[in-house]
Amino acid sequence: MIVRVAPEAFDPQAETASFVSGRDEPGALASFVGYCRAATEGTEVSELSIDHYPGFTEREIARLAGDIHHRFGCLDLLVIHRVGKIAPGEAIVLVAALAIHRGEAFDAVRILMDYLKTDAPLWKKETGPAGARWIEPRAEDHARRAVAGKEMA
């Protein structure tokens, strides 16, 4: 399992290729990449900034990923999450799962993303024309997390 908090921009395609490289056991790779939008609900975003708690953030993400890894019997999981200042168009998060079959890989990626939205020690701040504002999970994020929690139980 690889969990990395990245202060610099990363290339999701290159990271995914390197994650898969040299393995012949998995029959499935599923991945998700979240990007920084240039606008949120019609309002321009000039910059996204993500605060984290060094050490604790990495360990908590690794703990969440570890639980999901075991629950779905994946062969391996990769999580890379940006912190610091992020420009529109840059990748914020990459989650990839390798598994024998597609079902476990899809489930692991989806559930890990649902957990990251509400349970990863990360704090997003968007800057736009009206200034900066801290982002909190939406009702939809909490609803998805509740469903994911049931699937993990």
In whole angstroms, how close is the CB of 81 to other proteins at the nearest point?
7
CA torsion 107-104-81-49 (nearest 10°) is: -10
Q: Are 26 and 100 in contact (CB under 8 A)?
A: yes
Binding to other proteins (CB under 8 A) within 120-149 occurs at 120-125, 134-137, 141
According to the binding rule CB under 8 A, does residue 4 interact with other proteins? Answer: no
Distance of CA 153 to the CA centre of its chain: 21
The H-or-E segment that residue 139 falls in is: helix 139-152
Per-residue tokens: 146? 């509740």
d(CA 83, CA 124) in angstroms, rounded, equals 9
The stretch near other proteins (CB under 8 A) out of 9-17, 36-44, 100-108, 110-118 is: 110-118
Choose, by CB under 8 A, the member of 81, 94, 104, 108 that binds other proteins: 81
Instruction: Considering the complex, state which of residue 26 and residue 106 has its C-beta at the smaller distance from other proteins.
Output: 106
The stretch near other proteins (CB under 8 A) out of 39-47, 70-78, 102-110, 117-125 is: 117-125
Q: How many residues does the chain have?
A: 153
Total residues at interface with other proteins (CB under 8 A): 28
Q: Are 104 and 72 in contact (CB under 8 A)?
A: yes
Binding site for other proteins (CB under 8 A): 34, 50-53, 55-56, 59, 61, 81, 92-93, 113, 116-125, 134-137, 141
